[in-house]
Structure 1
Amino acid sequence: MGSELISFMKVLLISMVSLLYCYFIAQKLSKGKFRLISFLPVFSLFLVLPLYVSSAFLSSNISFFVTWLTTFKLILFSFNLGPLAFDPKLSLSLFVSIAFLPTRIKHNKTAKYVQNHDDLGNEPRPKLPLSLPAKVVIFAMLVMGGRHLEIGGPIAKLYLNCATLYFYLDMIMSLSNVFVRSRFGVEVRRPFDEPYLATSLQNFWGRRWNQSVSETLHTAVYQPVRYEIGVPRWMAVVVVFVVSGLMHELLLYYIIRAIPTWEITWFFVAHGLCVAVEIELKRALGKRWRIHWAVSRPLTIAFLVATIHWLFFPPLLRIKHSPSG
């Protein structure tokens, strides 16, 4: 335990020094390829940092928040885009906080191409508002329920696992929001928008689930592929999901340190293809595409839960039941 804590402190120190370097080197180099090249040593460091710890909890969080999100934010920052490209310039402490934490703040340099995207307007009020303490209590109840209760068979357990994953992520990201808002007095955005109320896969992935990742992938992957390369919209959407799948697969590798089985990647590829089909159907049918929420909402959640059970959870459950897990 002591050696693991020392390793984590080393990772934290390396990350902090790396961000200090990026912050100050950006003041010397204008946006573009030279700034991007100057960040390459940092990207290389971030790629190996999760390997310095053996704990699944620490390695998964380092790989998600640093290797994935922070790297993508710095890539965008190379071109003066994304959450780190604030005008006026961010203070050093706020720069580090936004780089490390999955917190979104309102500003005008998130994207190069203006879209009809949620981050350009006011957030809708939640229909089922839950405070942070309520989320913590619900998460604790779900964890205890999953460990000590035998309820309703495998289907109920599957929904319980999905709800636990959601409330864990929402709780962690909400805590990040509380820290940034209280420490710096800036306006922050909700990390999730009630994903259990999604009425389609496009609605779920594009506007409701993990908006920090969604916004980052939209700016770093979708927009360059869609507008710089010029591929059709549906193809750019599939590329985004492929990248997301590969990043999740990398995250899993850091946890198990074994050759990937690619099930998680296929989960995102399947959802990307389904979202692409949905987009094209909506374009072809126009206003004729109308499905009442009472039908579309349960169908969307059922499809999500079924595919999570089929492709997403099996690698995670194998970790849990392995001799070393």
Structure 2
Amino acid sequence: MASELAALAVVSAAAFGAMAYARLATACLAPGIPRLAALLPVLLLLPVLPFAFSSILLRTVSAFFLVWLCGFKLLLLAAGNGPLHPALPLVRFFACAALPVKVRDEKQPSRGSPPSSEFFLLSFASKAALFAVLVSLRRFRARMPAYAVPAFDGAHVYLMLELFLASAAALARALLGAELEPQFDRPYLASSLRDFWGRRWNLMVPAVLRPCVYHPARARFGAPAGVLAAFLVSGLMHEVMFYYITLEPGTGEVVAFFALHGACAVAEGWCAAWQSQSGLWWWRPPRPVATALTLAFVTGTASWLFFAPVIRSGLDKAIVAECEGMFAFLEGTGRNLTAATTRLVWSHR
């Protein structure tokens, strides 16, 4: 953990320096090729930084933050679009670029009041406890019924992403002092694939895919092409993320997973449009049934295609071991802090 913390400090410092350069370089250049050329050194540096970590989790999470989200935001900055702007204060520019957050637009209507710090801590603690339970149960995965394995894997990935993204959001909120857009919106309540991917699951990804991929493809070829293009690019970027996990070339299974879901999402849109135009509304299942079918399709196809490369290589066991080590480190740190605080209190009495 000491070496990983040192690597985290180095990567954070390098990312901060890169974002400072990006802000300074783009401030005096017009959007387009000049900005893109100026940002090219940063775009070449970001994919290298995650290799500073030996931990699979930290390497993959940093790649997601820096290579995917930050890289796409910088491409939008080169085009004069997106959440980044050279006029932003440096700390805000860095937080918005390097962390998976999106500052809520004050001009847009708010979807309810932001959660209080007490509610956030309670929610985070409960999810962390549940994740710890799942990590402990992972050793029994081979003995689980076949129908339970996809749900177990899906819950494991969801909670892991929630915890990492919530931690990054807490840091960003402390740096910015601003209200942030939600990163997830209860994906376990999704009633369709479009609802799941577009409005509930890991919302920081659609936030960069829409302006980078979907809108240009839709303007040129139509909405279905925009949806398919966004899913294909998502699949390709997930293959890149899996490379940081396995350090091996992709197998194409993850791209196939997102291509399948993109085609199904387009089919959903066509069915809805045809029913609306024809006035022939077929029977729709109750929302709980639709949610169950949606989640079953997502977890079933994920077990077949998405998780296959990691499980086949055995790295899922290594990731679980890292999670167990992380919990042990946090537990030991908590005990040491408690003991130190207790000694300090008693020494002043």
Report the TM-score when normalising by structure 2: 0.80
Residue 111 of structure 2 is aligned to residue 123 of structure 1: yes
Are 1:236 and 2:226 counterparts? yes
The one-character-per-residue Cα deviations of 1:31-51 (angstroms, maximum 9, x if unpaired) are 333112211111111123333
- Tell me: CA distance 1:183–1:260, structure 2 relative to 1, closer, same or farther (3 Å): closer
State the Cα distance separating 1:180 from its structure 2 match.
2.1
Pairing 1:303–2:293 present:
no
- Measured in 1, the distance between the counterparts of 2:188 and 2:316 equals 31
Q: Is 2:257 the counterpart of 1:267?
A: yes
Q: SS at the partner of 1:26?
A: helix
C-alpha displacement at 1:62, in angstroms? 1.9
Match of 1:206 among 162, 173, 198: 198
Residues 189 and 4 of structure 1: CA distance in aligned 2, closer, same or farther (over 3 Å): closer
Q: State the partner residue of 1:33.
A: 33
Give the whole-Å Cα distance in 2 for the aligned partners of 1:219 and 1:38. Answer: 21
The two structures have a TM-score, normalised by structure 1, of 0.86
Distance 1:85 1:238, change over 3 A: same
Aligned to 1:68: 68
The percentage of aligned residue pairs carrying the same residue is 35
Alignment of 1:292 with 2:290, yes or no, is: no
Deviation at 1:144, TM superposition (A): 1.9
C-alpha separation in 1, matches of 2:172 and 2:16: 17
Distance 1:263 1:187, change over 3 A: same
1:206-258 alpha-carbon deviations (Å, 9 max, x no partner): 0000000111111111111212xx11211110111110001110111122222
In the alignment, which of 239, 243, 253 is matched to residue 249 of structure 1?
Answer: 239
Report the AA paired with residue 135 of structure 2.
Answer: V
Asked whether the 8 Å contact 2:310–2:316 carries over to 1, the reply is: no
Aligned partner letter, 1:232: G
Structure 1 residues 42-51 or 292-301, which shifts more? 42-51
Query: Is the CA contact 1:146–1:161 (under 8 Å) kept in the aligned structure 2?
Result: no
TM-superposed CA distance for 1:135, in Å, is 1.8
Does the Cα contact within 8 Å between 1:146 and 1:157 map onto a contact in 2?
Answer: no
Distance 1:37 1:173 in 2: 31
SS in 1 for 2:307: helix
Unaligned runs of 5+ in 2: 115-119, 320-349
Q: Which residue of 2 aligns with 1:83?
A: 83
Higher radius of gyration, 1 or 2: 2
Does structure 2 retain, via aligned residues, the 8 Å contact 1:151–1:157?
no
Give how far 1:146 is off: 2.2
Secondary structure class of the residue paired with 2:37: helix
Instruction: Give the counterpart letter for 1:146 in structure 2.
Output: R
**Is 1:153 the equivalent of 2:145?**
yes
Question: Counterpart of 2:309?
Answer: 315
Whole-angstrom CA distance in 1 between matches of 2:3 and 2:175: 31
- Compared CA separation, residues 39 and 323, structure 1 to 2 (3 A): same
Query: Structure 1's 208 and 72: CA in aligned 2 closer, same or farther, altered over 3 A?
Result: same
* Counterpart contact for 2:189–2:291, Cα < 8 Å: yes
Q: Which runs of 5+ in 1 are unaligned?
A: 109-118
Instruction: Output the CA distance in 1 between the equivalents of 2:5 and 2:266.
Output: 44
